[in-house]
Structure 1
């Protein structure tokens, strides 16, 4: 397994818009800071609204105050938002958020609730420039674990295909396949045609080197086992 086999998205991309999701928590100063930096900013109280917004060039900030994120728990709002745009977390409790898990899940950064205003401003600037916002210690630990896992892994491991080749839509389809959904059910759930689902599945099979749904699910299980080993 190499570093590109994780869900971590490291493509540098400057963002033009900030969408703040704060369902039941205090929004805080983040929208004001983004506006002061000249970014378009929108605050929503329901993450379901993301499906109705233009998220091109947007970075999503989720207030995770009082929420836990670790190896066993991922807030639904975070999981849902990751389907639509790059995400970072703010107002996080360091005791409740495992930054290693956040990093490997594709979350671009975590801003803890105890950060001073100037520190939040600095973090936001870094994130909007397309960079990840994690401490050097966190990045070093994760890289060391990945390198260690790579030395231990077999060359023919089923987790070898690069997960970054999969689009967000394809990752969601894999999840639905894992839940037992058929093509028509997937099409209805994602509001696309059955023909499009079939095309996505063909792409997924190619990227994961799977010949059918059974092999795809086996690949997904083995990949998750590899991720669990890393984190």
Structure 2
């Protein structure tokens, strides 16, 4: 298996060094570059084409939120994980709406970084219940639509509904009695059909279209 190529973007040298030390313990990860602001993140993404960007939120010149938005427009298949010292979901929710696919707290233990990023690389990280609740509040279900119009198949709608409830790929497979591989295939098809990039946007779609029971 090819190593997972990671770009680290943080304006604090000690933070970048700490993240590098954690990830270099594991042969699955390859640090391909480091940046200290959003502009550098965009430039390095174009040059290095990482699989995953670990993006700080608060940075000078251009913050992580704006950089995330611009990178996802140009490179939609690059995965972005926001790294933060706070679990306040306000900035994280904004980042996820701009296309980021997940977040990590800087103070978690080394093995938790490994487990999260490895699962993240293989699209196996469920959305947090806090983020799902924010989406529920921001996008109240559309109850006026009697006839639900969606390009998705019946099975894809079932997968989408479980994603919106915060279930992991494994939990979805158990609920629908299908393999995790099949779940991943359905998710790729759903994202492609809807032109969306992450679970947050899928959940927003589900509520906006009145697909949640």
Q: Are residues 116 and 31 of structure 1, via their aligned partners in 2, closer, same or farther at CA, if it must alter by over 3 Å?
A: same
Look up the SS of the partner of 2:124 in the other structure: coil
CA distance in 1 between counterparts of 2:87 and 2:19 reads: 18
The answer as to whether partners of 1:123 and 1:133 remain within 8 angstroms in 2 is no
Match of 1:51 among 42, 46, 50: 46
In structure 2, the residue matched to 1:106 is 99
CA distance in 2 between counterparts of 1:164 and 1:92 reads: 33
The answer as to whether partners of 2:8 and 2:55 remain within 8 angstroms in 1 is yes
Rg larger in structure: 1
CA distance in 1 between counterparts of 2:21 and 2:144 reads: 47
CA distance in 2 between counterparts of 1:64 and 1:122 reads: 22
Q: Are residues 165 and 17 of structure 1, via their aligned partners in 2, closer, same or farther at CA, if it must alter by over 3 Å?
A: same
Q: CA deviation at 1:94?
A: 2.6
What count of residue pairs does the alignment treat as equivalent? Answer: 149
In structure 1, the residue matched to 2:72 is 82
Which segments of structure 1 move beyond 6 Å, counting only runs of 4 or more? 160-163
Q: Are residues 163 and 121 of structure 1, via their aligned partners in 2, closer, same or farther at CA, if it must alter by over 3 Å?
A: closer
Q: CA deviation at 1:125?
A: 2.7
Look up the SS of the partner of 1:130 in the other structure: coil
Residue by residue, what CA displacement relative to the aligned partner does 1:100-155 show, whole Å, maximum 9, x if unpaired?
Answer: 333343321111233233333332232223223643x2354257558842434576
Unaligned runs of 5+ in 1: 1-13, 68-72, 172-222
1:32 aligns with 2:21: yes
The answer as to whether partners of 1:66 and 1:92 remain within 8 angstroms in 2 is no
In structure 2, the residue matched to 1:149 is 141
Look up the SS of the partner of 1:138 in the other structure: helix
In structure 1, the residue matched to 2:5 is 17
The answer as to whether partners of 1:126 and 1:133 remain within 8 angstroms in 2 is no
